[in-house]
Structure 1
Amino acid sequence: MNVVFACLDADTLGGVQQVTHTLAQGLAGRGHEVHVIGLERSRAPFRYVERPMYRRHVTGAGRRLRGLLGGIGPGYAIMTTPSVVARLSALLPPALRPIGQYHGSYDHARGCWHLGSIRRHYPGLDQAVFLSEDDAWLFSEHALLPNTWTLPNPLPHWPEQVSSLRSPRVLGVGRLEGVKRFDRLISAFARSGAPQEWELHLIGDGSELGRLREHAYREGVGHRVVFRGLVPAERMPGEYLDASVVGLTSEHEGLPVVLLEAAAHGVPSVAFDVSGGVRSAGPVPVPPGDVDAFASVLGALTWSPKERRRLGVAARARAEAFRLDHVLDGWERLFAHLER
């Protein structure tokens, strides 16, 4: 079967891109002919898969793209964002059946242009795919979508080893950009009352780096917040094994892979309760934006190895549902459903 994944930018460091390359490699490994298309070229390419079994393309939305799509043959075109659906739907040949993903939550879509675009463009697709049952239901009810389906983000790998949860380290992972609100995580860490040997390690890079460094010093924890920069994907398992708690303080998220990866390594997490996808990953939920409540939960976990172990065991058990093979099975069930 031919499967095309189309992204606005397929090679920048980000959750949509990571999930796209993980699914592409997994489906290619099952014998499908898979293509990943970026409509724009990344200014800072990030390599997700060392030896891709799928084909990668960077092309605009003109004649070259039409020629590429027309030469692929029957199958499915999975468009990963509302902007890609809006730009690409009319260019698809009849042989490629259109599927629209949305990697955000209903609440996020409602607060920006995404909901209007989904209402305009997704009803005409063969399927509209969302990350959680909660979000699929909300889009079905409030965006009047007749074609919703639920498929979660997958875990790229299933680790055999789990964290000892003894290291005095809180971990945050993601782009250092405003929407991720790492300033809130720094503030929560500063107010948590964690033992003095505990540190907050932030993995990622972005335009907020300088501001976040200053914020950490203003909060009195500049010497305990470690900015690690970008870490290659193959080294991330070691980062989770060296962590005892993961914190996520984003303004909005769909289904963050960082929560799934932490859970698979037996690491408990704390997150603002911003979507059904976040809840499905099983962190300790905190009311969105409530930094003091986040600090209270975070502090309690730093002082209680027993509670960290209890939550870590539960998180790993929950993460089983997001193993790559299970999610690939779900995609193949969707394809079979559309064939009927």
Structure 2
Amino acid sequence: MKTKKLIGYCFTKSLGDMTAEDIGALDGVNIAFGLIKNGEVYWKEKHGKRDIARLKAINPKLKVVLSVGGWAADGFSQAAETKEGRAKFAESAARLTEEYGFDGIDIDWEYPCSDKAGIRAIPEDKENFTLLLKALRSRLDAFTEYKLLSIAAGALGFYVEHTQMKEAADILDYVQLMTYDLYGEWDSVTGHHAGLYSGAGEGASSDAAVRLFVSAGVPYEKLVMGAAFYSREWKGVRNSKPGSPAEKGGQTHSYDTIVKYLETGEKNYTKMWDEEAKAAYLYNGEQFVSYEDERALRYKAEYVKDKNMYGMMYWEYGLDKTCSLTGILREQLDK
């Protein structure tokens, strides 16, 4: 019996690559991404209806949700600013929901009140975000069959500061924590980008994010833990310990690329484990690579069960061409 939900983000182009086994293991697929144009939601797709029909045929209980937004996706602040704009946005999302048979809408606004991604941002985004969710919930409730409404939330303090999470939680079915990219090549020191706990010298962690959102008014049972199917890398690192200075950032690698490096010895990496953070990483004397292996993901899944959270999600299906991590998460969540 499935005890906790497992949701996978998947790029539109990767939907057709999902294996039957993985489709059967998932409770939800978040299609990335719907975007905003002239205040309305649209989805760039070529074989959307065919791909969704395949998913549903393999797993009739699967919830297929359109995720709107993503990094550098503009239009949220503008749409949310007025009552008319919010109604227009909600109506367009509902039209797509009806046309493609989506089971709901996921909002990935990165981020309210922040223009870091080059999008428009105003202080009023904080309240307008809640109003936009209310407009969406009201419009989706007009469907005969219940439709899900969720968000992907930044896992650091700035996100809670610039949103009304207690009010949002009352509207949403669940809140998906992007408990990854907690550290990255933009930092001058190495760190665990998706670590479960804070390691030595670190503050950010998945556990810290969960506690932050609970304190902001989101109940455990509406929180979803995020997992990463990719890595973050630093170069010019002279010490294998997390928190060490780095000369510059490096590349982002998919999980299957990491597996290949370890199997072939191509980069001379040594696989390492931080027991305190419950996090995996690689080091070769010059490069430090933070990623999530099977062991780290099992610890995260166990944490989700211990805290009675809604479940887990991951970014992104196409980044695991070994097609192993989805099954591992499903197995651990069901134990």
| TM-score of the two chains, using structure 2 as the length reference | 0.40
Structure number with greater CO (CA < 8 Å, separation at least 6) is 2
| TM-score of the two chains, using structure 1 as the length reference | 0.39
Structure with the higher fraction of residues in helix conformation? 1
Structure with the higher fraction of residues in strand conformation? 2
